[in-house]
Structure 1
């Protein structure tokens, strides 16, 4: 993965998580405090450093809420910091970055900064309003110490791992969730719970006491109720648990029995422990072994589009998983 691609993936992941956090506060402007919350569940260096210093998602949310309440009290407005709210970003629209958040993104990709999560966190520390410093101090984190650790990462010039070129229609991304191994495994190994993380599956007739395969219905409407155009032959899916090695690996295979020439979709989950939760490596592969002859040139031309589609699908799956535990 190139520096540009890695930075783009980081921006997409953090933007999605930031706007999800903003939706919990009932606002449509994603600000620097929401970006800090997103970094606490980042799977890469920035998130690892924050969690290693004690800034998990729940504690950071509490610190942000307390900071908001303190700011409101300065102008004589009382605030309830204990009222829990759920993420509604995927059910709503109209979200944008604030100007100071956009300035942080610009700073994170300027000069020698690579735009990865460590660079974003370092740019947050340099943001002049002082809001991030106040939140960090509520977390008992010294901003100067945090900055020193991030600068050390920059001096080491750590590069993202290289991704080998492949002709397969496949992609891999890692996600962090603030949950136990048991809870994550219970979600990802259950056929009945697939609709919680897979936006392509609307309903499934599944009993986890069975070994499958199971029949599922494709999603025909967005979370806010807008209908989706789904051809008749793609409305029914066959779901198989192709591999299961408790508690570290599970592989799901999705096919369309009414569309005999369609390509099956395979989703792999690999689980490993991480500070404050679990790291999940998700691999999405479209089985293109049933290729028709004479289309090689077309496939080459469409490869960038296919990569974008796989990237988007992986992001949607990752967002669905993390949302369950947030």
Structure 2
């Protein structure tokens, strides 16, 4: 992946995960601690290094809570801290980074790689002192993190490296780390009734509970009609109904479907395949999405229209994978 694409994908992934963390506290501004939490969740070298020294999302959340409470105590402020709520970033608007968090992200770009490792290294040298304080509450240090980065960089490159090209030239691929056991992720994905929990285009599913879940079975699904806040969703009638056909189910690590629109047969069908691999601290989810090939796809492969479609497919797939991760956070 080019440096520009790496930086763009990294910025998108870290911003989404970081703002999701901020939204749990009713905040619309993400700061350094939210960016650090996003790095712990990241599937690139930086995230793997942080997890090898025992850092986890729950640990960072707890350390952040204790750090903020200590700051308030030093100021002589006693207050009841509100319990974090569920993530609602995907349901709200108006998020931004603090200036110091933006400085970190900017420093990671430019002449640097723009990947998660560059962001983490820039975060470790951020001058406010917040990161040193947070790391102390995590019983570690900036030097320990740098040592872990060097050790991880010396390891053979794993299959996962964020967003990469799909083996299918017509498709896209997104890989993420999910902070949950692979068995739990499989249970979520293999249950048709739980599709609305992670697939943003599905509002409800008609499931025959007596039917065996085997390749070839088709589920009728409907698009969401309302946002979680009650706002109606405008959906064209031809896109209201979907059909999800199960193509592959290989417990406990691979499942795929074909999605089509019975009321709009000209619309290309989408094949979504997800592979789950257990890793330290959770599991790696590798998702690929591709449209059914048309007779002229080779001639259109590099056309502007096709490149735009691939970008839209990537956006859609990042929303799907984010939904899977969010279900466990």
TM-score (normalizing by structure 1): 0.91
CA distance in 1, matches of 2:279, 2:41: 11
1:281 aligns with 2:286: yes
Alignment of 1:92-241 (within 5 A): 92-111=92-111, 113-150=112-149, 163=164, 168-207=169-208, 209-210=210-211, 211=213, 212-241=217-246
1:187 CA displacement: 0.5
Question: Alignment partner of 1:5: what SS?
Answer: helix
Moved more, 236-245 or 142-151: 142-151
Counterpart position of 1:42: 42
C-alpha RMSD of matched pairs (Å)? 2.6
Question: Alignment partner of 1:68: what SS?
Answer: helix
CA distance in 2, matches of 1:205, 1:22: 35
CA contact (8 A) 1:66 1:81 kept: no
1:79-127 Cα deviation digits (max 9, x unpaired)? 445824211111211111100000000111133x211111111111010
1:253 aligns with 2:258: yes
1:304 CA displacement: 2.5
CA contact (8 A) 1:244 1:251 kept: yes
CA contact (8 A) 2:166 2:172 kept: no
Question: Alignment partner of 2:171: what SS?
Answer: strand
> Residues 79, 252 of structure 1: CA spacing in aligned structure 2 closer, same or farther, 3 A cutoff?
farther
CA contact (8 A) 1:54 1:139 kept: no
Question: Alignment partner of 1:251: what SS?
Answer: strand
CA distance in 2, matches of 1:67, 1:213: 50
CA distance in 2, matches of 1:155, 1:188: 34
TM-score (normalizing by structure 2): 0.90
CA contact (8 A) 1:69 1:80 kept: no
> Residues 161, 182 of structure 1: CA spacing in aligned structure 2 closer, same or farther, 3 A cutoff?
closer
CA distance in 2, matches of 1:24, 1:209: 38
CA distance in 2, matches of 1:119, 1:87: 27
1:301 to 298, 301, 304: 304
1:235 CA displacement: 0.9
CA distance in 1, matches of 2:209, 2:76: 53
CA contact (8 A) 2:9 2:163 kept: no
Counterpart position of 1:323: 326
1:223 CA displacement: 3.6
> Residues 67, 163 of structure 1: CA spacing in aligned structure 2 closer, same or farther, 3 A cutoff?
closer
1:303 CA displacement: 2.4
> Residues 51, 164 of structure 1: CA spacing in aligned structure 2 closer, same or farther, 3 A cutoff?
closer
CA distance in 2, matches of 1:243, 1:129: 51
Alignment of 1:4-15 (within 5 A): 4-15=4-15
- Count of residues paired in the alignment: 323
* Unaligned 5+ runs, structure 1: none
